[in-house]
Amino acid sequence: MRDSPLKWSDGLALAARDHCKDAGSNGLDGTIGSDMSSSFDRINRYGKAGWYRAESLTFGGPPTSKAIIEHLRTQNVQKTKKIMLNRGWQYTGIATCEHSVHDYMTSIIYARDFQQNYIATETLMKLK
């Protein structure tokens, strides 16, 4: 178990949202975007996270928190479980969206450190 809960990061959530919208509309099922961006590229749009960061993806529906966590927990993918249970993560951001092939998609981004930049702040202000 974790010693403390993960802290929510709006900047990481924006990075997850970017990939969710791109992958969902283009039918992608990996961490590389249609513009060849990686999760590192998307995170760097909204802040600085250092090298210790990762992304987990889950597909299907319904997009409830219980269903998403259960799907991640039961996936037979060792890498996903290792990422999800890593105690080194301090911050997370999550986005769920419709997916053209899998009904729904969720992107969860984790980071040990994260310093949000002004682009994230400006983007959040525009969304309100």
Cβ 8 vs Cβ 90: under 8 Å: no
Whether 122 is covered by a domain: the verdict is: yes
Residue 26: predicted pLDDT: 96
Mean per-residue pLDDT of the chain:
89
Lowest mean pLDDT among 4-18, 49-63, 68-82, 88-102: 68-82
Who has greater pLDDT, 76 or 104? 104
Whether 50 is covered by a domain: the verdict is: yes
Whether 1 is covered by a domain: the verdict is: no
Element (H, E) at 9: none
Tell me phi and psi for residue 64, to 5 degrees.
-95, 155
What domain range includes position 121? 7-127
pLDDT band at residue 86, thresholds of 50, 70 and 90? confident
Residue 5: predicted pLDDT: 87
Whether 109 is covered by a domain: the verdict is: yes
Given a cut of 80, whether residue 112 has pLDDT beyond it is yes
pLDDT band at residue 24, thresholds of 50, 70 and 90? very high
Q: How many structural domains is the chain composed of?
A: 1
Whether 73 is covered by a domain: the verdict is: yes
Residue 4: predicted pLDDT: 77
* pLDDT tens per residue, range 35-70: 999 999 999 999 999 889 999 898 887 778 888 877
Whether 2 is covered by a domain: the verdict is: no
- pTM, 2 dp: 0.88
Query: What is the maximum alpha-carbon separation in the chain?
Result: 39
Given a cut of 60, whether residue 2 has pLDDT beyond it is no
Whether 80 is covered by a domain: the verdict is: yes
Whether 22 is covered by a domain: the verdict is: yes
7: its two tokens? 């802290």
CATH code, domain with 46 = 3.40.33.10
Residue 119: predicted pLDDT: 92
